[in-house]
Structure 1
Amino acid sequence: MSRAVLSIGSNLGDRLAHLRDVVAALGERVLAVSPVYTTAPWGGVEQDDYLNAVVVAEDPAFDDYAWLRFGQDLEQSSGRVREIRWGARTLDVDVVACTDATGAAVVRATDPALILPHPQAHNRAFVLVPWLDVEPSARLRVDGVDMPIVDLLAGLDPAERAGVVRTELVLRDESTRPC
């Protein structure tokens, strides 16, 4: 495995710092970082709004489980506690999709620890909107069919799409990156 699309979010503590920590930990693996969005919480649990972004990263030494472990390690380092499903969190790092060294999408449907592509990504504007920013031609497998994320996003409720609001916040200083 070499490439992953990671959805990152935070609604506890220094939300922006938690997201920046992910990008910093990825270092040179980062291929693209979306703008930061603010979104209402998803899942019906009363809590503060989230900051969300998508990071596309690459590492030929990582397989899909390495991306999962990487994200879980960062969540643990941020002090994340899993008490309530869809509850507030210092950091959430979801592996949305992975491709192997040949560019083929990884599909893993039977392992409850890691289902790829992420089973709910196609329903979540807070994943699709920032992903579209960094990969306008990206596709996601839904029910065995590769679909453009732009089409998946268009199929969501307009209120869901409108609830993903772009901020002026950034996760890394592009002016310091080599060309």
Structure 2
Amino acid sequence: MSATDRPKDGKKIPAAKTVGKAAAKTADKKPAPPRAGGAKPSSSSSAGARSGPPARRAPAGVPVRRPRGPREDYPTVQAFVAIGANLGDAEAAVKAAMAAIGALQRTQVTARSSLYRSEPVDAEGPDFINAVVAVRTGLDAEQFLVALQRLETLAGRERPFPNAPRTLDLDLLMHGNSVIDTPALTLPHPRMRERAFVLKPLAEIAPDKVPRAALARVTGQVVKRIV
């Protein structure tokens, strides 16, 4: 103890008073700023905000599965549609019809043939542009036929007399294993094996659906592949 700290009567200052002075000096001092790069202590509020187990990470190299949106599931069958046109820009009409068929409800085009040019058979007017598409569809045969006829109407199809020239002609050739014989629809198409403009593009995308004997019977019909 220094001389200045001693009382005049020679008595010592109690230890408690000494501690109080030291504590007061400590309180006056400002806390040192944190060192650069040092981690800040977490507060009790941030620690309490964490709840539940930590998120699990996928092992390296394992693809992460992301949730998918709702998907419509429905049974489908394979069907084949013959497309033809011989009025206006027939080639553009056939290509547009391929896209329109694929845009039908619950229907997807799975194969497209090349385009073929043929002379009219049981019809009148200029040469036809023909093609065949294969589809998977959830529509039954009657529903699919109605949808195809609607596409013909939208393309400006008119029927002023039998076998008249047409802006678009869509024939349902087969619909799964359906065998139908009604005034509105006959399946398989009753004249498909008599027409080279149907059999040649069909054989291109589904050779198992076209017997060789059927192709041999229509060799006299001139059909030229153009695209």
TM over 0.5: yes
Of 192, 200, 219 in structure 2, the residue corresponding to residue 121 of structure 1 is: 192
* 1:149 Cα deviation from its structure 2 partner: 3.0
* 1:114 Cα deviation from its structure 2 partner: 0.4
Of 203, 208, 211 in structure 2, the residue corresponding to residue 149 of structure 1 is: 211
- Residues 42 and 86 of structure 1 are in contact (CA less than 8 Å); yes or no, is this contact kept in structure 2? no
Structure 1 residues 74-127: Cα deviation after superposition (integer angstroms, max 9, x where no partner): 10001000112122000000001110xxxxx11012x01000011111111110
Q: Structure 1 pair 121/164, CA: closer, same or farther in 2 (3 Å)?
A: same
Of 6, 9, 19 in structure 1, the residue corresponding to residue 84 of structure 2 is: 9
TM-score by length of 2: 0.62
SS at match of 1:85: coil
SS at match of 1:79: coil
- Residues 123 and 165 of structure 2 are in contact (CA less than 8 Å); yes or no, is this contact kept in structure 1? no
Q: Structure 1 pair 44/53, CA: closer, same or farther in 2 (3 Å)?
A: closer
User: 5 Å matches for 1:94-113?
Assistant: 94-99=171-176, 105-109=177-181, 111-113=182-184
User: 5 Å matches for 1:83-98?
Assistant: 83-98=160-175
Of 115, 120, 134 in structure 2, the residue corresponding to residue 56 of structure 1 is: 134
2: CA distance between counterparts of 1:55 and 1:5? 6
Question: Whose relative contact order is higher, 1 or 2, with alpha carbons under 8 Å and at least 6 apart?
Answer: 1
Q: Does 1:166 align with 2:211?
A: no
Letter in 2 for 1:134: I
1: CA distance between counterparts of 2:143 and 2:93? 20
Q: Does 1:35 align with 2:106?
A: no
1: CA distance between counterparts of 2:168 and 2:197? 15
Name stretches of at least 5 consecutive residues in structure 1 with no aligned partner: 100-104, 139-147, 169-179
Determine what percentage of the aligned residue pairs are the same residue: 35
2: CA distance between counterparts of 1:4 and 1:10? 20
Question: C-alpha root-mean-square deviation of aligned residues, in Å?
Answer: 1.4
* 1:151 Cα deviation from its structure 2 partner: 2.1
2: CA distance between counterparts of 1:121 and 1:50? 16
SS at match of 1:57: strand
1: CA distance between counterparts of 2:108 and 2:179? 22
User: 5 Å matches for 1:12-23?
Assistant: 12-23=87-98
Normalized per residue, the structure richer in strand is: 1
2: CA distance between counterparts of 1:44 and 1:6? 19
Aligned residues: 148
- Structure 1 segments, 4+ long, off by >3 Å, are none
SS at match of 1:4: strand
2: CA distance between counterparts of 1:89 and 1:75? 9
